[in-house]
Amino acid sequence: MVELIAAKILGPTLWGIWYLLNLIIAYRDVLNLGITNGMNREVPINLGKDDEVKAKQVENVTFTTVLLSAALASIIISLSLLLIKDPNIVNSLLWLIPLFVVTQFYYLVNTSLKANSLFHYISKKQFIFSVIFPVFAVPFTYLFKLEGFIAAFTLALLISVGFIYKISSISYAIRYDWNEVKNLIRIGFPIMAVGIAYTFLNTVDRWIIGIFLGAEELGYYSMAIIVFGGMTLFPKVISQQLYPRMAYDWGKSNSIEELRYWTWLQTKYTGILIFPLLVGVLTIFPWIIKTFLPQYTPGIFPLQIIVFGALFMPFSAGWGNVLNIIDKQTYYLVVILFAIIMNLGINYLFVVNGYGIEGIALGTVITFALYNLTIMIIGRYFLKRI
């Protein structure tokens, strides 16, 4: 809802610029080289082996590395300002630096909470953010436009994660162990590569629109991105919460049956969530856009197309986690890379042939369907051969 209000205040062009800048946040893990991903796997596995000292060492080394990577990212973003002439983008990029740093810490704490199965704190953090973000976002966006929205986002993240860090058992210390760093990179880099590739798969449409159609068209298309992101959020939350439990059980017992059980659970709950969400979205959101966001009316048809991609999520639910846990991340990555190439090709053909953002939405659905079905097939294949 906050995003829709901000979109109305900013208009399609400025809102489209935000979606381009937000890609920097989306690719935040690149500079960590997968160390956070390695922590996400190694902490629950070591806890499953009752080695709390090792688990704590992994967290501290990861924290130190994230600090270094956040500093490096700030320098890179600052230097990029020298190459940009548009004052709107320059000002927004300046505000993006603190957002990037805070986001790094926010997701590190989030990963630690998941790895330690402290899910109730994740819920509290998300609740705090959802309450205070509108308080800052609406007036800041109205008064200071895009820079105000970015500042509000930063403050809401900082307050919510700072409070949870203070009241939870999560704590960090500066520790650097090169051997541990190398081990975490070895484990986490393939997982990160999968995550970054998956992020690129999910943002190919933004890149194509931004390059060939411009910020205003991306602003229209953002309605589809917002709704589709909301539909896929709940299945992702289920997957993220069950992943540490799957890794814990695997580290404790190496039970294939346990992995199958957790995978089936994700498939079931994802299916239960997706179908009513689809009906609700197709019924409500076109009316919302026509009534409250008439300047975004060109985004309705792409929205109605892209939501059907969510129907294929239950097929792959859990199988990506399985591939990560049984060290078959490389195959997971290969599937995503093929999907990226296919998505780029289909969307490019649709754009150059004049199908616009509607064609990009259709190309994204086709790619998403084939990707989810392939992940399920690959996951089932390797689980049978352990």
| Sequence-ordered strand ranges (E) for the chain | none
pLDDT of amino acid 217:
95
Residues in the chain with pLDDT < 50?
Answer: none
pLDDT of amino acid 382:
84
Angle at 316 between CA 197 and CA 320, to 5 degrees: 50
The contacts of residue 30 (CB under 8 Å, 6+ apart) are 192, 196
Dmax (CA) for the chain in angstroms is 59
Tokens at 60, concatenated? 């501290």
pLDDT of amino acid 271:
85
Contact 187, 41 (CB under 8 A): yes
Burial class for 199, CB neighbours closer than 10 Å (0-12, 13-18, 19+)? middle
Cα–Cα nearest to 370, from 345, 342, 344: 342
Model confidence pLDDT, tens digit, residues 239-277: 877 887 788 887 777 778 888 888 888 888 888 888 888
pLDDT of amino acid 146:
92
Q: Which backbone phi and psi does 175 adopt, to 5 degrees?
A: -140, 135
Model confidence pLDDT, tens digit, residues 267-308: 888 888 888 888 888 999 999 999 999 999 999 999 999 999
Of the chain, the percentage scoring pLDDT greater than 90 comes to 39
Q: Where are the chain's structural domains?
A: 2-384
Tokens at 48, concatenated? 């499953």
DSSP 140: H
Residue 176 zone, left/alpha/beta (φ > 0; ψ -120 to 50; rest):
beta
The contacts of residue 306 (CB under 8 Å, 6+ apart) are 224, 227, 228, 361, 364, 365
Which residue matches tokens 């097939």?
377
Dihedral sign (CA 2, 120, 37, 96): positive
pLDDT of amino acid 124:
92
